[in-house]
């Protein structure tokens, strides 16, 4: 099984959109390990955007109520997130796409961060970098931590109106490959996800 971990440079960077695209591209299983906020879960969002019939959507290990940092949301419910108790679901397909929460250094508990899940499950990281003033700094800080931890990184997916100067510097500094660039989208639906899935498939499978 090939296991991709979708993470980002911050909250609302487009992880769920990218997770849907990668899941569709590979006809992969999908797993959101920790969900904080249950009005509309990321699993429900991804399910609504994936159109193939092979993907299986696995239940969260922790489904928390408050839309806050996982450690804070868990504490409000009297829960402690224990990553040692988190086990991989039974996988039906060749690929598994796991979606993180927020950025890589978001705390799960007093001792563990979101990125520790990628290390625990020996995942290959797909980093989402959304485009805004300051995103170079935030992306390179994330890159530095991924490199410090010696994690395997498949590449970067840029999300937002293209800034060629920013992209060039990020790719040059990181040494990572660009997997896909997604412009600002007016509509996000199954058709759009399938379109970008076709664009990124080769880079994920090669």
Q: Which residues of the chain have pLDDT under 70?
A: none
Q: Where are the beta strands (DSSP E) in the chain?
A: 2-8, 29-32, 34-36, 57-58, 62-64, 95-103, 124-130, 152-159, 178-182
| 137 Cβ contact partners less than 8 Å away, ≥ 6 residues apart | none
| Residues 76-120: tens digit of each pLDDT | 999 999 999 999 999 989 999 999 999 999 999 999 999 999 999
- What is the domain-level CATH number for residue 187? 3.40.50.300
2, 15, 27, 32: which one is catalytic?
A: 32
pLDDT of residue 37: 94
Q: Which domain holds residue 48?
A: 2-205
Q: Is 32 a catalytic residue?
A: yes
pLDDT of residue 195: 98
Whole-model pTM: value is 0.97
pLDDT of residue 16: 98
| 146 Cβ contact partners less than 8 Å away, ≥ 6 residues apart | 104, 115, 125, 127, 153
pLDDT of residue 66: 96
pLDDT of residue 74: 97
Tokens (6 digits) for 42: 């990321």
Three-state secondary structure call for residue 123: coil
Let me know: does 129 contact 158? Beta carbons within 8 Å: yes
Spatial separation of the C-alpha atoms in residues 201 and 181, rounded to whole Å? 13
pLDDT of residue 165: 96
**How many domains are there within the chain?**
1
């Amino acid at each position: 099984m090939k296991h991709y971990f979708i993470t980002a440079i911050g909250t609302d960077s487009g992880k769920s959109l990218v997770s849907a695209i990668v899941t569709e591209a590979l006809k992969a299983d999908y797993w959101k390990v920790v969900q904080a906020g249950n009005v509309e879960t990321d699993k429900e969002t991804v399910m609504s955007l994936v159109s193939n019939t092979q993907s299986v959507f696995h239940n969260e290990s922790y489904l928390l109520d408050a839309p806050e940092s996982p450690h804070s949301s868990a504490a409000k419910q009297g829960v402690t997130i224990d990553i040692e108790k988190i086990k991989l679901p039974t996988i039906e397909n060749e690929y598994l796409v796991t979606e993180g929460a927020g950025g890589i250094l978001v705390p799960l508990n007093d001792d563990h961060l979101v990125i520790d899940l990628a290390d625990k499950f020996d995942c290959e990281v797909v980093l989402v970098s959304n485009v805004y003033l300051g995103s170079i700094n935030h992306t390179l800080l994330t890159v530095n931590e991924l490199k410090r931890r010696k994690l395997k990184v498949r590449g970067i997916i840029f999300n937002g109106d293209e800034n060629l100067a920013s992209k060039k510097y990020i790719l040059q500094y990181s040494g990572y490959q660009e997997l896909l660039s997604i412009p600002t989208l007016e509509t996000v639906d199954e058709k759009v996800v399938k379109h970008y899935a076709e664009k990124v498939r080769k880079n994920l499978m090669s």
